Amino acid sequence: MEDRTTEVVFKKETVGKLLSLNFKDEKTKVTGDAVVLMAEMLKIFVEEAARRCQKQAEVENCDVVDIEHFEKILPQLLLDF
Amino acid sequence: MDEEFSHHQRLKAALHFTVGRLCEDIAGSSRKKFSKELVAAIAETTFRQCDIFAKDLEAFARHAKRTTVNSEDVKLVARRSTALYNYITRKSEELASTNQEQKERRRKNTGKKKENGQSGAGTSGNVDCDMT
């Protein structure tokens, strides 16, 4: 249940710059569609991380979802991506 | 040098902001709160994951003898999880069909301009996505 009417997404500009920043060759470019798809990928990555942390906190009966939960789910998260 | 540094920081800040909002949405449905440190950790990890994604994308494009990364490269990056791969493939097809519709509309408008005696500029900026 979201109380926002607009969906939270990564801005195309941000994603584009994040990718360009890490290209080894300065000539490498990205198509508009690819940027949109990568924005989706990143969103899913963040959501997965957040949900897995939440679940971990539930399993441990903690009230706050904290870094220790993140540390536990991180290895599998990285392997899954 | 300072400009590069602040550009870097600004990007990270933008990323952190969106990550925060995404976490808020997910936390919103439960009583548990996400700690600030956790949100920062997720943001930092996402930033580093971007590095890996970017380098993979670049390698895939270069392997295909291209300098421009396209949707096919993104699909490859999503290959490890079947569900993710299918989702990205679907999105890619949606985008491709939207682009197609936009092209049709532009072609019609260009046609009208030609009728009015103006020279219509051909739009060929979009890279076509392969729908495999």
Q: Which residues pair with B34 in a beta bridge?
A: A65
Domains of chain A: total: 1
Q: Decide if A16 is inside a domain.
A: yes
Q: What confidence score (pLDDT) does residue B67 get?
A: 96
Considering only the beta carbons, identify the residue of A8, A20, A29 that sits closest to B21: A8
Cβ burial of B85 (10 Å; 0-12, 13-18, 19+) is middle
CA distance B132 to B124: 22
Q: Decide if A23 is inside a domain.
A: yes
Q: What confidence score (pLDDT) does residue B112 get?
A: 77
User: Cα dihedral angle (B74, B50, B126, B109), rounded to 10 degrees?
Assistant: 120
Q: What is the CATH number of the domain that holds A17?
A: 1.10.20.10
Tokens of A74: 């991180």
Say what the ipTM of the complex is.
0.91
CA distance B97 to B89: 12
Q: What confidence score (pLDDT) does residue B100 get?
A: 93
Q: Decide if A60 is inside a domain.
A: yes
Mean pLDDT, 10 residues at a time, chain B of 132 residues: 75 95 89 93 96 96 97 96 95 94 91 64 47 48
With a cut of 70, list the residues of chain A below it in pLDDT: 1-5
> Model's pTM, two decimal places?
0.84
In chain A, residues 18-37 whose CB comes closer than 8 Å to chain B: 18-25, 27-34, 36-37
